[in-house]
A and B are shown apart, each in its own frame.
Chain A
Amino acid sequence: GESVGLHLPTLSVQEGDNSIINCAYSNSASDYFIWYKQESGKGPQFIIDIRSNMDKRQGQRVTVLLNKTVKHLSLQIAATQPGDSAVYFCAERVTGGGNKLTFGTGTQLKVEL
């Protein structure tokens, strides 16, 4: 079936370095992608989104890149901080799918001091 997956289950970075979290998706009908951050015991928190007609979008310290040719999505976090430690999920929405999201399994980001 259609799925969203992540390449790296755990990513460790030094404080101040940049982090890159990757995601592969398989449904070419997906028109919208979202990155979420989830801390222990909390619900997913919206970070940034991108529509399929874009290839890059920037937020505060975060950038999402979309490569539709290879169905790849990435989240870049600049100057990673200890507060960025969490599990990160990418999610996709399929056109006409009623706005429900399909999530990947997540990447644990650990920021080392």
Chain B
Amino acid sequence: DTGVSQDPRHKITKRGQNVTFRCDPISEHNRLYWYRQTLGQGPEFLTYFQNEAQLEKSRLLSDRFSAERPKGSFSTLEIQRTEQGDSAMYLCASSLAAGQGVGYGYTFGSGTRLTVV
């Protein structure tokens, strides 16, 4: 296991289309996070899972966004009816849950760059 994997690396889509991204976390990590990053800005939290349970969603996550982690391993992030404002880098990170004795640090994937035209 070499880290957090995200697929695809790049996605260009037409406005109004649906897109789905996948994240494979580090295998022993039970927490998985999605962030969005626009150019020149720091990542913004979208949502996170502990195992298969989605524990928190940001107000940034509109009704057009949905995330799943059905078996507590990989996760998908779907955006329906994409808009130009959705263009961003979508980052996934994973960690052990706080309190499990190995620190709170995250490991980020390389992200999926979405461009809506």
A residues near B, CB below 8 A? 4, 32, 34, 36, 41-46, 49, 89, 91, 93, 98-106
Could you tell me if B48 and A103 are in contact, using CB atoms closer than 8 angstroms?
A: no
Report the Cα distance A15→B44, complex, angstroms.
Answer: 32
**CB within 8 A of A102: which of B45, B103, B107?**
B45
Question: Most chain-A CB neighbours within 10 Å: which of B42, B97, B105, B111?
Answer: B42
**Smallest CB gap from A102: residue in B:** B45
Report the Cα distance A106→B39, complex, angstroms.
Answer: 11
Could you tell me if B43 and A49 are in contact, using CB atoms closer than 8 angstroms?
A: no
Q: What's the minimum C-beta distance from B105 to chain A, rounded to whole angstroms?
A: 5
Q: How many positions in chain B have a CB within 8 Å of any CB in the partner chain?
A: 26
Could you tell me if B108 and A99 are in contact, using CB atoms closer than 8 angstroms?
A: no
Report the Cα distance A104→B42, complex, angstroms.
Answer: 5
Q: Within B42-87, which residues are at the interface with A (CB < 8 Å)?
A: 42-45, 48, 55-56
Please name 10 pairs of A and B residues whose Cβ atoms are closer than 8 Å in the assembled complex, sorted by A. A43-B108, A49-B103, A99-B33, A99-B95, A99-B97, A100-B48, A101-B43, A101-B45, A104-B42, A105-B41
Residues on A with beta carbons closer than 8 Å to the beta carbon of B97: 99
**CB within 8 A of A101: which of B41, B106, B111?**
B106
B25 at the interface (CB under 8 A from A): no
Q: What's the minimum C-beta distance from B53 to chain A, rounded to whole angstroms?
A: 12
